[in-house]
Amino acid sequence: MGTHRRPKPPSRTRIATLGVAAGAVSLLPAQSQAAPKPSVDEVRKQVEKLYEEAEAPTEEYNAIREKQQKLQREVDGARDRLARKQQEINELREQTGPLAAEQYRTGGIDPSVQLFLSSDPDEYLGKAEALGRTGHRQAAALQALESRQRELAQERADAAQRLTALEEARARAEAKKDEVQSKLTEARKLLNSLTAEQRARMAAAQQRADAAAGTSDAPTSYTGPASGRARTAIEFAYAQLGKPYEWGATGPGSYDCSGLVGAAWRSAGVSLPRTVQQMYDAGRKVARSDMQPGDIIYWYNSSQHNGMYVGNGKAIHAPRTGKNIEIVPVDTMPFFAASRP
């Protein structure tokens, strides 16, 4: 049986070396976490991306809100109908009360027996005829009462369904609202991470880019060739130049993209659907080469962003959070399609 040898304890030099190594390792995570702050240009690009990503849920929110408002009107109408039918039922019940009392006074005796027992057959026959008419009225009143009660039960069921749909729409709208606000909050955090000097540099760079692209949000008057309703719509849009973009807004102090287009055409007596996608689906499509002032332009795709063509290769639109209603070249963003209200 061999002897068990105890391991030799490490020397002081080795312990010191291990300690230094361990200290070096422990410093590595802290060093790797100290990531460099994004540059001004990187922040600008990230913010632009977040604002762009917020547009799709904004339009979804608009569609849900429109449905929610329709459901609210239906629920209000159902409540009014329920109140009217309940009043009708109350009145019918009051009418059937005296009829039932008259029937009770006859005792429910067989008519032939009543005639036999009557001391004055002629008087009885007159009463019987009157009672017959009373019975017919009672039967009709009871039928009307039963009919109204059935209608009331159906109205209550319909109202309950509408109310459930309304609550579901409210919940979906809140979820979309949270999604939009989450992206806007993230964008604000990125902007707040910049110093005042960096923010000033970024704003100056944006102004130079807008100037180079021919972008303008300075109030001006429309002098283009549009006429009739299209001119009225464009003149309304021009009067909004410089007002801020606000998601979900339809004026008068601020607008989102479809909110501006809808308000402009509404001023000309034309009612358009609420969202970019609905406007695209409802409008008559026109080729880019056939566009006329007042036509609706869609950028990126059929549901993300729109504005109005004003002629001379330019459009007016409500761009995004942090910017104002402006006039831009049509090619500022990827052109997708155009439609005519």
Distance CA 301, CA 303 (A): 6
Q: Which of 183, 305, 314, 320 is catalytic?
A: 305
> How is residue 226 written in tokens?
């549009």
Closest of 39, 138, 144, 44 to residue 85, by C-alpha: 144
Distance CA 99, CA 2 (A): 119
Distance CA 159, CA 74 (A): 8
Distance CA 210, CA 216 (A): 7
> CA of 53: how far to CAs of 70, 74, 193, 229, in Å?
27, 33, 20, 33
Listed in sequence order, the DSSP H helices in the chain are 12-33, 40-105, 111-117, 121-192, 196-213, 228-239, 257-267, 276-282
Q: Which residue has the tokens 């409210």?
A: 170
φ, ψ of residue 86 in degrees (nearest 5): -65, -40
Catalytic residue check, 4:
no
> How is residue 129 written in tokens?
């005829």
CB of 320 within 8 A of CB of 245? yes
Q: Which of 256, 317, 325, 338 is catalytic?
A: 317
- Tell me 214's DSSP state: T
Catalytic residue check, 136:
no
Distance CA 261, CA 295 (A): 10
DSSP assignment of 142-186 equals HHHHHHHHHHHHHHHHHHHHHHHHHHHHHHHHHHHHHHHHHHHHH
Q: Which of 71, 92, 257, 297 is catalytic?
A: 257
**What residues are labeled active site?**
257, 305, 317
